[in-house]
Amino acid sequence: MKALPWLASWFQVAPVALLLMLFFGLPMLVVLAVSFFDYGQGRLYPTFILDNYFEIFASSVTVRLYLNSLKFALIVWAVTLLIGFNIAYFLVFHVRTLLWQIGLFLLCTVPFWTSNIIRMISWIPFLGRNGIFNQTFMGLGVVSQPMEFLLFSDFAVVVAYVHLFTLFMVVPIFNSMARIDRSLIEAAYDAGAGPWRIFTEIILPLSKTGIALGSIFVITLVMGDFFVVKVMSGGQSASVASALSTEISQIQYPPAAANAIILVAVVTLMVSGILRLVDLRKELTV
């Protein structure tokens, strides 16, 4: 056994590897296979046809759905980046004691550990026609009529996404920033760099990894979401994933699978684009 120390590692990692392969790797292969199946009357016919893909590419709905999803992804990415970056920056560079840092960080993180669905629907009393915003603004005389666009609209979808996913930006960026060696900043200050230069030359480049990671999280979450967009838009807006979930509920597995594969391909492209900027494994492992 001494000659093969990594054999022990194999034993230790085997359960996780096995589970991931069984419940992630294989299922993804199943989805791939099913995307080539034929179907009808609630039954699956294992075969190899490309019809599912043709139908998707030929449909104009597909393009619309993708544009819509990408629109959301982009907007949410930009907003969460802006907010997340500032929050992380505040926590790392303006909060002085470790205790406060941890405390405030936890304050932001705790909602993450509660139900997504609850947090999502908690916006309804806020944004509705009789909701808090409208009541407040009407009470203050800012508007004379309730603002309809607040709820069951794209606006509501974006608000919900930002509410749910900003944390995924904050944490990686916080991590990257916290690792920045303070003496670098002091050395730059010593050499005469002003706050803006320090920001652009030191802080921003060294936060790159965190920004990349956060972006990957947010984009995949938005592109893969099917319930936020359904509920918050009142069914008016659709994303690729929500169309997918409709097909699933109608037991149209092959087209759903094909859609899934294409969506995965698109998202993978986006992610690898981001990954060109950062070596994940080096950043995350021991």
Partner 1 sequence: MRQAAGPRPWTFYVFASFFALFVLFLYGPMTVIYILSFQGPTGGLTFPMTGFSFRWFHALVTAERVGDIGGSFQRSIVLAVIVAVLTVVLSVAAGLAFRRRFPGSGVVFYLAIASLIMPGLFVGLGIAVGFQLLGLDIDWYTSALGAQLTWTLPYGLLIMFAVLGRFNRAYEEAATDLGATPWERMREVVLPILLPGIIGVALFGFTLSYDEFPRTVLTVGTRNTLPLEIWAMTTNVTSPALFAVGTVTTIVSFIAIGAALISIAVIQRRRTRGSGNSV
Task: Report the site for partner 1 in 157-196 (rule: CB under 8 A).
Answer: 163, 166, 182, 185, 189, 195
Taking CB under 8 A as the rule, does residue 206 contact partner 1?
Answer: no
Rounded to an integer, what is the distance from CA 191 to the centroid of its chain?
Answer: 40
Beta-carbon neighbour count of residue 22 at 10 Å? 10
Number of residues that bind partner 1 (CB under 8 A): 93
Rounded distance between C-alpha atoms, residue 72 and residue 158, angstroms? 7
Taking CB under 8 A as the rule, does residue 241 contact partner 1?
Answer: yes
- In this structure, are residues 218 and 19 in contact, taking their beta carbons and an 8 Å threshold? no
Taking CB under 8 A as the rule, does residue 220 contact partner 1?
Answer: yes
Tell me whether strands 43-45 and 38-40 are parallel, antiparallel or unpaired: antiparallel
Among 168, 163, 175, 165, residue whose Cα is nearest residue 91: 175
Instruction: Indicate which single residue of 67, 204, 265, 284 sits in contact with partner 1 (rule: CB under 8 A).
Output: 284
Instruction: Indicate which single residue of 15, 40, 139, 192 sits in contact with partner 1 (rule: CB under 8 A).
Output: 15
Residue in the structure block whose two tokens are 């030191």: 202
Q: How far is the CB of 25 from partner 1 (least distance, A)?
A: 6
Taking CB under 8 A as the rule, does residue 215 contact partner 1?
Answer: no
The CA-atom distances, in angstroms, between 231 and each of 116, 195, 239, 251 are: 13, 44, 12, 21
Taking CB under 8 A as the rule, does residue 8 contact partner 1?
Answer: yes
Instruction: Indicate which single residue of 77, 174, 253, 258 sits in contact with partner 1 (rule: CB under 8 A).
Output: 253
Among 216, 200, 234, 227, residue whose Cα is nearest residue 270: 216
Taking CB under 8 A as the rule, does residue 122 contact partner 1?
Answer: yes
Q: Is 45 helix (H, G, I), strand (E, B) or coil?
A: strand
Residue in the structure block whose two tokens are 């918050």: 232
Among 104, 103, 149, residue whose Cα is nearest residue 129: 149
**Contact window for partner 1 (CB under 8 A) among 7-15, 53-61, 65-73, 142-150:** 7-15
Q: Is 39 helix (H, G, I), strand (E, B) or coil?
A: strand
Taking CB under 8 A as the rule, does residue 22 contact partner 1?
Answer: yes
| Residues 76-115, mask of contacts with partner 1 (x by CB under 8 A) | -------x--xx-xxx-xx-x-------x-xxx-xx-xxx
Instruction: Indicate which single residue of 39, 77, 123, 152 sits in contact with partner 1 (rule: CB under 8 A).
Output: 123
Q: How far is the CB of 56 from partner 1 (least distance, A)?
A: 15
**Residue (49 or 284) nearer to partner 1, CB:** 284
Instruction: Indicate which single residue of 56, 178, 248, 278 sits in contact with partner 1 (rule: CB under 8 A).
Output: 248
